[in-house]
Amino acid sequence: MVVEILESNAGGPVPRTQLDAWVNTYRIPVTAVIDPPDERVTRTLMTYGVRESLFVVDLRTMRIVNKYNGSVAGVGPSSITQGVTRILELLAGGM
């Protein structure tokens, strides 16, 4: 299961219209979500940190088993590039 969280817009909450535009522009084939619209500060950003973070979660225990941080400047490997090998290993092993 892959879930993408669009966590902030210049440090503030992301409106639903921006989420829809993000999904439609990039044709994201996974579940994409935002924080509740009534928050002034995004809980996701405050809890998990900056964008370009990938968390691999064991759904049986709901525990984070790996975290990868990609570059927010767009240089170097993305978080998914770093984590794809581990994700495929876990899927092959029946995580």
Q: What are 41-76's pLDDT values in tens digits?
A: 788 888 887 778 999 988 889 999 999 999 888 888
What is the pLDDT at residue 40? 73
Residue span of the structural domain in which 32 resides: 3-91
d(CA 90, CA 92) in angstroms, rounded, equals: 5
Closest CA to 56 of 47, 66, 48: 66
- Residue 84: band (very low, low, confident or very high) from pLDDT cuts 50, 70, 90: very high
Could you give the number of structural domains in the chain?
A: 1
Residue 26 tokens read as 């990039």
Name the average pLDDT for the chain. Answer: 86
Distances (CA, A) of 37 to 11, 15, 21, 34, 71: 14, 7, 16, 8, 27
The burial of 54, by beta-carbon neighbours within 10 Å (0-12 exposed, 13-18 middle, 19 or more buried), is given as buried
Whether the pTM exceeds 0.85: the reply is no
